[in-house]
Structure 1
Amino acid sequence: MFNIGWPEMVILVVAALVILGPERLPGAIRWTAQSLRQVREYASGATSQLRSELGPELDELRKPLEELNELRKPLDELRGMTPRGMVTKHLLGGDDSLFSGNFSKPTSMSPGAGTPPPVPELPDPPKPLAHNEKPPIDFDAT
């Protein structure tokens, strides 16, 4: 629920020891434990009362919530990814050679991506100009 680990618990106990003092600390821990137990009992009682009153209608209310959770799953997959990982996965089909610079080995394409599109051939580069030769004029560019 709160996702508190051991280091945080130690810090809380030390802070409580400093703030409350050693005399009042056991009573405060006892009061906190009783309060948490009582809140759990209220929550479980409320859910059992809701189930008993609504019966099968509760399942009908849960269906849209489950559908929303199913829609959230793809977002949860993307949440931990870096921008590079997203580009690699969705635009490049998992081929990370663009970022790693390792073009020698073929990488596997993602399922459904098929074969990569053919690379168009580039025209021959223009020949260098001879000494004192004027470059051609492109009237469309001027």
Structure 2
Amino acid sequence: MVDFGFGEVIGLVILALILVGPERMPRVSSDLAKMIKKVRAMTNTATAEIRDNLGPGFEDLKPADLNPKTFIKRHVASVLDDEDSNDRNKKRSGQPAFSPRIDPDLL
């Protein structure tokens, strides 16, 4: 999600020292830590409520699964797999794998 490197963290600490000052830094950092814990608790609670409301079958749902691109890719892949299995069944039965659809109005 958020990818901070060592250099960015050091830069933020130096910026905080300049803006807040060294005498108020311990109190501000503890307040910031408490706020981060509260935000994490709220997100965990919201996630648990959403999973409870979705019902059974969605226990292993990940946020990436809700991405429209992922959903479309998965849907297209399942349709293509269904078509492949239908083509294989037609080949086994002796029917042509692809039957062209001809519109009689075009003739």
Q: TM-score scaled by structure 2?
A: 0.54
Whole-Å separation in 2 of the counterparts to 1:67 and 1:25: 43
% identical equivalent positions: 33
Superposition RMSD on alpha carbons, in Å?
A: 2.9
Aligned residue pairs: how many? 70
Whole-Å separation in 1 of the counterparts to 2:50 and 2:17: 41
Q: Would you tell me which structure has more helix in proportion to its own residues? A: 2
AA of the residue aligned to 2:24: R
Whole-Å separation in 2 of the counterparts to 1:66 and 1:9: 30
Whole-Å separation in 2 of the counterparts to 1:32 and 1:66: 31
Aligned to 1:108: none
Whole-Å separation in 2 of the counterparts to 1:44 and 1:37: 11
Aligned to 1:8: 8
Which string of whole-angstrom CA distances, capped at 9 and with x for unpartnered residues, describes residues 90-111 of structure 1? xxxxxxxxxxxxxxxxxxxxxx
Aligned to 2:83: none
Q: Which has the larger radius of gyration?
A: 1
SS of structure 1 residue aligned to 2:35: helix
Whole-Å separation in 2 of the counterparts to 1:25 and 1:12: 12
Question: Any residues of structure 2 matched to 1:49-88 within 5 Å, and which?
Answer: 49-56=49-56, 58=58, 65=66, 68-69=69-70, 71=73
Tell me the CA shift for residue 28 of structure 1. 1.0
Aligned to 1:40: 40
Whole-Å separation in 2 of the counterparts to 1:54 and 1:65: 13
AA of the residue aligned to 1:18: I
Q: Kindly report structure 1 stretches of 4+ aligned residues shifted beyond 3 Å.
A: 64-67
Whole-Å separation in 2 of the counterparts to 1:15 and 1:34: 20
Unpaired runs of 5+ residues, structure 1, are 72-142
The answer to whether the aligner puts 1:25 opposite 2:13 as a matched pair is no
Measured at CA, do residues 5 and 27 of structure 1 come closer, stay the same or move farther in structure 2, by a change above 3 Å?
same
Tell me the CA shift for residue 53 of structure 1. 2.2
Whole-Å separation in 1 of the counterparts to 2:58 and 2:16: 42
SS of structure 1 residue aligned to 2:23: helix
Unpaired runs of 5+ residues, structure 2, are 74-107
